[in-house]
Chains A and B, each alone.
Chain A
Amino acid sequence: MLRMAPGEHRSVAFSDEAELEPVLAPFVHEGLAGRDKVLYVTDVTHPAVATGLLRGWGIDPDAHAGRLEVRTLGTSDPDVMVAQLTETAYRARDEGYRALRFTGEMSWAVREGTDSLTAFETKVQALFDSGVAMGVCQYDRRVFPPVTLSELQRLHRGTDVNLEFDGALLRIRRSVDPPGLELDGEIDANAVDELTRALASAVRREPGDVHVDMGRISFIDLSGLRALVDTATSLKQGRSLVLDRVPEHVAQLIGLIGWDKAPGLRVRGGDARWSR
């Protein structure tokens, strides 16, 4: 569902490794299924751990030796990093690949400072613009200050650090106030796995109630409603899944099924989202 083309430059912000999967697993899969070479650069994570993550996503690095490489960043100099990426990308082209897919941990920038980070992101964008590469930069929310994260949002063209999932029919963003998720689009059985994953990570991330803004949902089927209810009923006592701005017909469906009385679920219509 990711579908990235050479030249694109995205980012993913995460609080635990499970949140990388929805973005990175399709990113790597697509490259291997297509005609790209894949480079995964780690910083604080041991390469063996990253290799383990890939295996967990159903990607066997051994089976793609020479095509999928996991390596540790050997430098903190943005110029050297981009030079190495440029060389790897052009070598991939010479070997007959369409482009280099790069993903890397950006935690080094916390040590080096914002100027280095900006220099890297700007230079790497120039490399991507030449059409030989594309990339997803990984930002660990636990180490980056919120100010830096919102700055990064500007640097990653057309991307959004709060974006959890960007499918053909559904977009899932994290929200900070109220804490939870914003859903935009249509939810059917094809999107349920992504929704369930995003809900589970919001439940792990937030200590209290988890809000889901339904105001831009134009369609949701029974399987989507079930994913919401299952998440709500699995919450510990005292926590709720709060559905905000629920469209009238969706509220009616929830009532018909009897899920308006499900433990842990609160359904609010209209603009009740702002009146707590």
Chain B
Amino acid sequence: MEQMIHQASLYGSDQEFLEMAVPFVRDGLANGEPVLVTTTSGNLELLGEALGEDATRVDHAETAYYGRRTAQRATAFTRYWRRNSGHRRVRILAEPVWQGKSTRDVLAWKRMESGLNVLLDDTGIWMICPYDTRAVGAGIAEDALRTHPSVSADGRTARPSATYADPLDFIGRCDAAPLAAPPAGSVSAPLDEINDVRRFVAAEARRRGLTEESASLLAVAAHEAARYLGTPLTAGMWEDFGAVVCDLRRPGKAISDPLAGFRPPGPIERAEDGLWLARQVCDHVDVRSDATGCTIRLQTAGPRLQTG
């Protein structure tokens, strides 16, 4: 198996994008390596035209639908690698959507970009992440150099990134701000038993108008997060704009692995599998440990979510 490679590629024009993407994809195909391209529909079109016949041999996904949330994205990459497990090298061109994202989502995606260096370290993935400098802000482009060990302009060669940051340091800075205090009107309960956690969460979710299915899924997420955290704990729930939020706080506990729950379950059961499930089911899962304990905050869509 080859070593994992994770590179950023900053481009300012369609031509610059193609100068990197076409050789990267063509070299992979020539080597018989699986190649996945997940980018905007605009860039998929550009690349498809440039590749001609070769495009039919490329795995592709419109990027907004390839892992809607960061934990789903990281899982999709891991699974692509596992599905192609017979290969020493797998190539992925991965350009997230940055435009129009909330501050919180931008932070979460930067955090994931950095985390991928750890999460995919035991794979033979060569990943290039294009950043469109016409569209992304300066802050996002600068952080791309902190979250990728090297930078490639031609999809073949690379130079090290001078500002590359150790992933755990970078993620630590992403997680530096404490979670906002629960608003007035939140309901909380001290709970000793794990089965009371899921009952409390399901009942509160239903009372706030979530469908039976959404309430059940949130209850599973809370149960799994509580299993990871341990009991006794205090559960709190409230509504925010567009969201139902659930806090689980355990005094005297700390969670040290900031990437716990980003790796999908395998054949052997691991403690973090439950947290992975919570991250798949929820829109946001935030974990904060401080001197007095640890909080896991789960957020799912509120009852007025429209699905068409």
Contact = CB atoms under 8 A, between A and B. Distances in A.
Interface of A: 169, 186, 188-189, 219, 221-223, 226, 247-249, 252-253, 256-258
Contact of B277 (A186, A247, A249, A256): A256
A188 B194 contact: yes
A257 B277 CA distance: 8
B281 A221 contact: no
B264 interface: yes
Contacts of B227: 189, 221
Nearest to A186: B195
Main secondary structure of the interface of A (DSSP, over half): helix
Contacts, number: 45
Interface in B161-213: 194-195, 198, 212-213
Interface residues of B, number: 21
A247 B264 CA distance: 23
A253 B273 CA distance: 13
Given A256-B277, A256-B281, A219 B198 contact: yes
B274 interface: yes
A223 B269 contact: yes
Main secondary structure of the interface of B (DSSP, over half): helix
Contacts of B303: none
Q: Which 6 pairs of residues, A with B, have the shortest CB-CB distance?
A: A249-B216, A249-B213, A256-B280, A222-B274, A249-B217, A222-B277
A247 B216 contact: yes
Interface in B136-181: none
A39 B226 CA distance: 42
Task: Pick the most buried of A188, A221, A258: most chain B CB atoms within 10 A of its CB.
Answer: A221
Contact of B79 (A248, A252, A258): A258
B265 interface: yes
Nearest to A250: B216
A222 B195 CA distance: 14
B220 A248 contact: no
Nearest to B213: A249
B73 interface: no
